[in-house]
Structure 1
């Protein structure tokens, strides 16, 4: 009866003489995504405890956002981006604009650069007009986007942002994938450990409305 050592040596000999299977370089690297991409983004963000609100028009988006924010105090809802502030005011959505973020900040409203359907990630940058603190400090982070900002894979997001800022990239580009989380303590998942406890993305599916 062959020893354990001999069995290992025999297996190694067979491995050397057998032709290894060649990889299929033409096979797709990623699994296919559902169409439209907003649905894939929604499904993948939900897997990491994020929430996506798909709206058929800008009016519907801000109406749904207003309903969502009704339970919060206006002074604890902050948005500092010019384009967003104009739309929030137009649709009578309560918010405050200030560089001095309140210690008990509840909701931060920002835009984004791109939404990555494959991972459910949100690409943000320092060029948006929101300070980095607004992505980290609030209990709830709300992102407002259009369907044109949804891309399939991360490579597309990076190539698109390079085209968007051809002369100089923003000093800070980051990816957000759901609420902040950690399982460092006794392997128990805790949301909101290093950032927002809730993560909501509102998408206008009809850019022209």
Structure 2
């Protein structure tokens, strides 16, 4: 609010400022929030649980904390990727493809910032549907997988050189059973989801 308005006591709408504290006019475009911050806000709003990991050691430590919190220390885990479960061979977990497992452990295709959703495909789920998989998920992703929209993710998948394009592409967006679903999430199965985000940039 400028000096004259403060003296006259004229109320105005809440002012918007840029990163330097300069006032932005109400008809100017709002400053865009960074993609990582936008994803975190939307992901938490959807009911997801997020743990940032600076390195592989922190990733293993946070993974162990999740196991302790949920008493999953010695249970079965649905995981089909040796490159993922080999990171956790120090645990007492049993890795297999049992749909009755305590939780589903996987990576993902992309993290969608404008909705806080996680894009997955047959590369993670095989021929299973989300509803077939255990209700608890632990997803391991990297900061380089953050993108703005689903469309951008589909374009990047389509550009892959190996032309081994995945099928069964879907998003996980509902992480809380109590959360009111909107039209876009109609019919989706809520998953209790932990995201371990590993810094790789």
TM-score by length of 2: 0.70
Q: Spell out the pairing of 1:1-209 with structure 2 (5 A cutoff).
A: 33-35=32-34, 37-70=35-68, 71-89=71-89, 92-102=90-100, 105-128=101-124, 130=126, 132=128, 136-164=132-160, 167-179=163-175, 181=177, 195-206=189-200
Question: Which shows bigger deviation, 164-173 or 58-67?
Answer: 164-173
Q: Name the CA shift for 1:129/1:95 in 2 (closer, same or farther; >3 Å).
A: farther
SS in structure 2 at match of 1:60: helix
Cα distance in 1 between the residues matched to 2:61 and 2:131: 23
Size of the aligned set, in residue pairs, is 167
Computed over aligned residues only, the root mean square deviation of the Cα atoms, in angstroms, reads 3.0
TM-score by length of 1: 0.67
SS in structure 1 at match of 2:95: coil
After superposing on structure 2, the runs of 4+ consecutive aligned residues of structure 1 that deviate more than 6 Å are none
Question: Which shows bigger deviation, 72-81 or 127-136?
Answer: 127-136
Q: Name the CA shift for 1:171/1:194 in 2 (closer, same or farther; >3 Å).
A: closer
Q: Highest Rg: 1 or 2?
A: 1
C-alpha displacement at 1:180, in angstroms? Answer: 6.3
Cα distance in 2 between the residues matched to 1:182 and 1:67: 24
Cα distance in 1 between the residues matched to 2:190 and 2:91: 21
